[in-house]
C-alpha cells in the first residue's frame, strides 16, 4: 500500500520513497512564512552605493527652463529691433534726396515793327501771313515719335510729352488765361515747389528774369487788347530726352499767331505814346515764339505735373519800351514803333538777372494785307 503523498501509479521510475522526501528539509511551515519580513530593494540599492544616477535631479530654477528660453528670445528680438532702428538712423549710406525744384528763369524780348502794323480782317491777315498753313489751336501741338531710353519706357516719355503739351495749351491757347482771367488750370500743372514763384509773378510781376508773368504764360492786357479771333495758329516741335536716371527734360519750341484788336478805350492809352493812332475796327496779328524747357521726375509723371526751368519769349509787334513783365502790349493796325529804342543797360546793376532787350520784327514775318490800309 502506498503512502498518502504517493501518486496512484506509485513513485516515478520505481524510486523508493517518492520525490517528496528530497525537498522535505526546505519546506517552511505556515508559522515561519507568516513571521518572515519581506523587503524589496530600490533600483539604486540593487545597483550599489558607487553607481551615479543616469538622470540628475532637477532643481526648482531648472524646472523653469522653458520660461527662461522664452524671455531670452524676447530679449534677442528687442535687441535686434533696436539695432535695426539705430542703423537706419545712423546709416552712413543714406538714400540720396531728390533734386530740389529750380526756380524759373525767363526772358521776354519785344520785337519792334519796321513800319506801320498791317491791318485787316483776321481771315485775310492769316491767309497772307507765314502762318497761313499753321494748324489751329491744340491740333498744332503734336507729339513726336518716341523711343525708350535707358531708364524710361515709351509710355513714360509719352506721358511727359502729354503733360508738356497740356501746359502749352493752357498757357498759350486758353482764351481765359490769354485775356487775364483765371489761371487755376495752368497752376495745377506746376510742381508744388514752383507755386510760390508763380503766384508772386502774377501778383507782383517784375522784369528781373524770375518774376515776370509772361515767363509763365502768354497774356494780353485786357484793358487794351481783345482777341479778334480765338482760332490761334500754332506750329512748332516737342522733344524729350533723359536728363538723369530719375528725370526727363522736355523741350518745346513753338510759334503762336494771334489776331487782336484794340479794346474800348485803348485808343487814348495809345495816343499818349509816339506810336500813332490805331485803325478803327481793323485787326492785326501778334506773333509769339516760345522756347521752353521742362523737367519731369518720376513723381511728376504720376501727379501730372512739371517744372518750368527756362522760358524765352519773343513777341511782336511791340514797342521796345513796352513793359512786358505783367502782360504783352502789342501795337495795333496802323501804329508804328516810332523812335522808340531799347533802354540803356547798366552792367553794374546786379539786381537785374537779365537786361531789357529789344529786337526788330522782320518784314517777312508781317502779313501782306489784301487791301492797303488807308
User: Could you give the CA distance from residue 211 to residue 333 in angstroms, rounded to a whole number?
Assistant: 30
- Which pLDDT score, from 0 to 100, does residue 321 have? 81
Question: Reduced to 3 states, what is the DSSP secondary structure of residue 252?
Answer: strand
pLDDT for position 274: 75
Task: Report yes or no: 239 and 251 within 8 Å, Cβ to Cβ.
Answer: yes
C-alpha 300/C-alpha 166 separation (Å) is: 14
Question: What pLDDT is attached to residue 138?
Answer: 96
Q: Which three cell numbers stand for residue 191?
A: 510742381
Beta-sheet pairing, 225-244 with 135-136: antiparallel
Whole-prediction pTM: 0.71
pLDDT along the chain (374 residues), means of 10: 53 53 61 65 64 58 64 84 72 56 90 91 95 96 92 95 98 95 96 96 92 96 94 96 94 97 71 74 95 96 96 93 86 85 61 66 78 50
Give the pLDDT confidence score for residue 184 in this predicted structure: 95
- Alpha-carbon dihedral 212, 166, 175, 109, rounded to 10 degrees: 30
Rounded CA separation 248/163 (Å): 12
Amino acid at each position: 500500500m502506498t503512502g498518502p503523498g504517493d501518486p496512484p501509479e506509485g513513485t516515478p521510475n520505481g524510486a523508493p520513497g517518492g520525490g517528496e522526501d528530497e525537498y522535505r528539509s526546505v519546506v517552511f511551515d505556515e508559522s515561519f512564512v507568516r513571521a518572515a519580513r519581506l523587503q524589496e530593494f530600490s533600483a539604486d540599492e540593487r545597483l550599489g552605493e558607487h553607481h551615479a544616477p543616469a538622470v540628475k535631479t532637477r532643481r526648482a530654477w531648472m524646472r523653469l527652463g522653458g520660461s527662461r528660453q522664452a524671455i531670452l528670445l524676447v530679449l534677442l528680438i528687442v535687441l535686434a529691433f533696436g539695432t535695426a532702428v539705430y542703423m537706419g538712423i545712423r546709416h552712413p549710406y543714406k538714400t540720396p534726396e531728390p533734386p530740389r525744384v529750380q526756380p524759373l528763369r525767363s526772358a521776354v524780348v519785344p520785337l519792334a515793327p519796321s513800319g506801320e502794323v498791317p491791318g485787316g480782317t483776321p481771315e485775310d491777315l492769316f491767309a497772307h501771313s507765314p502762318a497761313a498753313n499753321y494748324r489751329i489751336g491744340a491740333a498744332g501741338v503734336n507729339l513726336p515719335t518716341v523711343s525708350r531710353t535707358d531708364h524710361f519706357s515709351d509710355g513714360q516719355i509719352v506721358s511727359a510729352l502729354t503733360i508738356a503739351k497740356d501746359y502749352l495749351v493752357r498757357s498759350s491757347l486758353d482764351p481765359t488765361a490769354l485775356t487775364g482771367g483765371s489761371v487755376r488750370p495752368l497752376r495745377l500743372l506746376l510742381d508744388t515747389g514752383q507755386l510760390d514763384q508763380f503766384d508772386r509773378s502774377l501778383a507782383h510781376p517784375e522784369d528781373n528774369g524770375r518774376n515776370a508773368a509772361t515767363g509763365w504764360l502768354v497774356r494780353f492786357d485786357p484793358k487794351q487788347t481783345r482777341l479778334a479771333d480765338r482760332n490761334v495758329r500754332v506750329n512748332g516741335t516737342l522733344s524729350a530726352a533723359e536728363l538723369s536716371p530719375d528725370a526727363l527734360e522736355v523741350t518745346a519750341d513753338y510759334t503762336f499767331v494771334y489776331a487782336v484788336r484794340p479794346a474800348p478805350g485803348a485808343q487814348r492809352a495809345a495816343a499818349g505814346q509816339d506810336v500813332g493812332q490805331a485803325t478803327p475796327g481793323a485787326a492785326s496779328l501778334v506773333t509769339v515764339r516760345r522756347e521752353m524747357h521742362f523737367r519731369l521726375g518720376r513723381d511728376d509723371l504720376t501727379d501730372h505735373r512739371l517744372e518750368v526751368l527756362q522760358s524765352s519769349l519773343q513777341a511782336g509787334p511791340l514797342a521796345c519800351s513796352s513793359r512786358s513783365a505783367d502782360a504783352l502790349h502789342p501795337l495795333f493796325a496802323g501804329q508804328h514803333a516810332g523812335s522808340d529804342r531799347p533802354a540803356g543797360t547798366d552792367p553794374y546793376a546786379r539786381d537785374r538777372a537779365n537786361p531789357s532787350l529789344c529786337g526788330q520784327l522782320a518784314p517777312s514775318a508781317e502779313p501782306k494785307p489784301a487791301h492797303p490800309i488807308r
